[in-house]
Amino acid sequence: MRKNWKRFIPFYTPLSRAVGLQKGMLVVGISIMVIFVVVAILAPMLAPYGYADLRGPDGPFGSHVPPGGNHLLGTTVAGYDVLSRVIWGTRTALAVIIIAVILSSIIGIALGLISGYYGGWADRIMVAIADAVYAFPSLLLAIIMAIVISGGQSSFWGGIFAAAISITVVFIPQYFRVVRAETIRVKAEAFIDSSKVIGASNRRIMVKHILRNSTRTLPIVMTLNASEAILTLAALGFLGFGIEPTAAAEWGFDLNKSISGVTSGIWWTSIFPGICIVVAVLGITLIGESLNDLADPRLRMRRAATIVAEDEGADAIVAERTGSDIAGQSTREGVIKGEAAGA
């Protein structure tokens, strides 16, 4: 009962299976993402000011104030507190990741399942469209979608949905390809034919049998897409097609506004948003790479070999200690017998 309960803990199964470097990567990635999510949720309590505040109890913040005092990370050229913008930016990034990954996975899985199961001319058309979209530059497509949806600059939810939808269009072909290939493989199994013989409907076969056996690699794709979502959002903000600074905090926009001050030695306006982007992408990428390694059967074989070697080593140590104890006992008995004979 306790083991079944543990299976519902996020990443419990990968952590229990991982060994060596893969386990270290997974632990570091999960730790980074836990901090990222906690900061995003608790942003109103952690941030000393609002993302659009230009003044505090002591008056206006001022432009390009160096780190220290009331502003631990300094202020931007517009007079925003850098620490507050960095903390609030985690919430924007998390919202884009969730919306983009959910939308793209739902649409891609549904299309891949239908295309792989029914085949025919509809399958060929879907594959051609997916290949065309996949070959299109993702950032250019994101810029076009941002302009179409929000005119380039938008409110908080408008900018988030503009970035998320543009990312969704780019990522749908990835889920489509993975699920379609798995659906074609599972459809040829004998238990699918048995389901058809007993009268199961196509919908039941697709959902109950094929879908359950076609989503093993999707967590890997989701993690990699999440890191791409952060980079795409930052790129849109950096190019000026993101969210208005008065509507939400966004790391890419802050990087864009910090370029003019870098040559003048004003480093704090660019380095902290840049570090946040790098660390967030690194955490998600480490999780994705670890899950990808764990999906390799050779890793499980290496883990089994490691466990066997450890068990053999433990048995050898026990046998050695047992032998030493027996030898010591025999020596003591011999000494006692010798003393008795001398007496």
Q: Which amino acid is at 172?
A: I
pLDDT per residue, tens digit, the chain (343 aa), is 455 655 556 665 666 666 677 778 888 888 999 999 999 999 989 999 888 888 888 778 888 888 887 888 888 888 889 999 999 999 988 988 888 888 888 998 899 888 888 888 888 898 888 888 878 777 787 788 777 776 655 666 777 777 788 778 888 888 888 888 888 888 887 888 788 788 878 788 888 888 877 777 788 888 888 888 888 888 888 887 777 777 788 898 888 888 877 877 888 888 999 999 999 999 988 888 777 777 665 555 555 455 444 444 444 444 455 455 544 555 455 544 454 444 4
CA dist., res. 332 & res. 330, Å (int)? 5
- Residues 13, 47: one domain? yes
Domain housing 152 = 2-295
- Residues 6 or more apart from 208 whose CB is under 8 A from it? 200
- Residues 291, 301: one domain? no
- Residues 307, 184: one domain? no
- Residues 190, 304: one domain? no
The torsion region of residue 189 among left (phi > 0), alpha (psi -120 to 50) and beta comes to beta
- Residues 326, 291: one domain? no
DSSP for 114-147 reads HHHHH-HHHHHHHHHHHHHHHHS-HHHHHHHHHH
- Residues 29, 146: one domain? yes
- Residues 6 or more apart from 305 whose CB is under 8 A from it? none
- Residues 121, 164: one domain? yes
- The pTM of this model reads 0.77
- Residues 195, 327: one domain? no
Domain total of the chain: 2
- Residues 156, 257: one domain? yes
- Residues 212, 227: one domain? yes
CA distances from 181 to 4, 130, 151, 248 (A): 31, 13, 38, 40
- Tell me how many degrees the CA angle 325-327-332 measures, rounded to the nearest 5: 95
Q: State both tokens at 297.
A: 């059967």
